[in-house]
Structure 1
Amino acid sequence: MRTEPTWRIPVGIIGLLVVLAIYGLVIANFVPEWIGHWPGLAQTPVYLVLGLIWLLPLKRFLIWMETGRWSPPD
């Protein structure tokens, strides 16, 4: 457990917010053009998957914020 603050946490949070905002804008701008004419029940799984995809790299990113390494400690 860390006892002193590190620069990675505020930089990581700001970076995460920026990347999520860009991801959200890209999804909001381009996906409706492709699936906007689909029925609502068909659109739901697409938006559900796209809403969860950003979680895939989150574990490694949080590990980096805490330890400075991209892989879990051995």
Structure 2
Amino acid sequence: MPERLRKFIGMVVLVAFVIIYALVVVTIPIQNVPGALMWLAYATAGLLWVLPAGLIIAWMQKPRPPRT
């Protein structure tokens, strides 16, 4: 796969993932929990998206295999 195409696909997937992830996190019903626990839940969710995003970015940056 050409590098430019891989980066374009990765960018589209990354943007779609972040939008869907944010919508899912916002719909989690945690309004009836204590403030510290709500803060912890949103802080965890706010950092958790980095793991799959990092995998997508690593795939985008993967060097093209040499032609034989």
Find 1:27's aligned residue among 25, 28, 38.
25
Partner of 1:66: 61
State the TM-score, normalizing by the size of structure 1.
Answer: 0.70
Matched positions, count? 63
Unaligned 5+ segments in structure 2 are none
Q: Which has the higher contact order (CA 8 A, sep 6+)?
A: 2
Rounded to whole Å, the distance in 2 between the matches of 1:39 and 1:68 is 47
Structure 1 residue runs of 4 or more that deviate by more than 6 Å after TM superposition: none
Q: Secondary structure at the match of 1:6?
A: helix
Partner of 1:9: 7
Instruction: Give the AA of the match of 2:46.
Output: G
Percent identity for Structure 1 against Structure 2? 30
Whether the 8 Å CA contact 1:12–1:65 is kept in 2: the answer is yes
Unaligned 5+ segments in structure 1 are 70-74
State the TM-score, normalizing by the size of structure 2.
Answer: 0.75
Q: C-alpha root-mean-square deviation of aligned residues, in Å?
A: 2.2
